[in-house]
Amino acid sequence: MFCLANYWSPAFTLVRGGATVGHPLKFNSVVVCGARGPRPRYPRVWKTRKKIGTISKSQKLVECIKGLSNVKEEVYGALDSFVAWELEFPLIVVKKALKTLEDEKEWKRIIQVIKWMFNKGQGKTMGSYYTLLNALIEDGRIEEAEELFGMIFSRYMEGLPRTFFMRMISLYYSVGAYNKMFEVFADMEELGVRPDGSIVRMLGDVFQKLDMMDKYEKLKKKYPPPKWEYRYIKGKRIKMKVYPDNKTKELTEGDPGTDELEEAENIHHLGTDELEEAESIHLDDELEEAASSGLDRNVLDDAASGDFEYV
């Protein structure tokens, strides 16, 4: 049988000459053992209590690579030394560092960091691909951007987001490569990706420049301008009516103290029931206009579901 005769614990009190003498020993963490006596348990040497957050780490990463040259080996060596003592790849830190570099418009550094991350087999997401594509376009490396878009399009054909098509169409529109612009839009049509209002406006401008009025009319019939759109004014998401002369753009870029902006803010403060009622009224007006125009319903359906060939 286990004997506790010779067991002594610092938590016990001793009696000397009728007076009790305590042992006020304080430990950081006390664990009771099997003999029902406390014993000191000190923290491990290799465990640190000071943890560095991802924001400070991302700032250190940006400072680490910002003063380097554009030599590939030097940048990759600095990045390897930064993550050398990490047990896992610091993906969140790298993504926050990329966001900081994007705000500072350090496009060359963004390209280097993303390619280094891809070589490590990490972070191959749509967001990283789009950041790399945007950085290549902003840096003037059009051929590499086209090659990257072709690779992403062939690999993720049916799941490619609309923002990639929008970025490439805006690129070709700015450089005047209208044939490539039509090719990208034809791919969108085949995949069933609905274009944004900005894409439709750019295509309409190109059709008018090239005197292709028949295709311009087909484009307007298939993708009519929206009646409502969302704008961000003073950090608020406001639903505003779109006018033919594009007054909403003047609203957002004008003086915030104008009467039109106050009217837009009043629309924002309306309830959901009033907005739904307004939408139903505009929908009824559209149906009445379509009925009064005398167009056959089958013709409208064919125009809405037909395919266009722009190449």
Q: What is the pLDDT of residues 85-102, one digit of tens each?
A: 888 999 999 999 999 999
pLDDT band at 40 (very low <50, low <70, confident <90, very high): low
The helix (H) or strand (E) run that includes residue 94 is helix 91-103
What confidence score (pLDDT) does residue 30 get? 52
Q: How far is CA 194 from CA 77, 161, 187, 200, 224, in A?
A: 44, 11, 11, 10, 12
- Of the chain, the end-to-end C-alpha distance in Å amounts to 95
pLDDT band at 242 (very low <50, low <70, confident <90, very high): confident
Torsion of CA 263, 269, 270, 271, to 10 degrees: 170
pTM for the whole structure: 0.61
Question: What's the whole-number average pLDDT of the chain?
Answer: 75
3-state percent helix, strand, coil for the chain, nearest multiple of 5? 55, 10, 35
| Position 147 pLDDT exceeds 80 | yes
Q: How far is CA 276 from CA 180, 190, 246, 270, 286, in A?
A: 41, 33, 23, 10, 15
Structure-model confidence comparison of residues 208 and 8, the more confident one: 208
The upper half-sphere exposure of residue 152, i.e. CA atoms within 13 Å in the direction of its Cβ, equals 24
> How far, in Å, CA of 130 to CA of 148, rounded?
10
Q: What is the pLDDT of residues 246-287, one digit of tens each?
A: 444 444 444 444 444 444 445 444 444 454 554 555 545 554
| Position 42 pLDDT exceeds 70 | no
Q: Classify burial at 230, counting beta carbons within 10 Å of its beta carbon; exposed 0-12, middle 13-18, buried 19 or more.
A: exposed
**Chain centre to alpha carbon of residue 9:** 60
> How far, in Å, CA of 218 to CA of 224, rounded?
10
37-46, 82-91, 144-153 — most confident range:
144-153
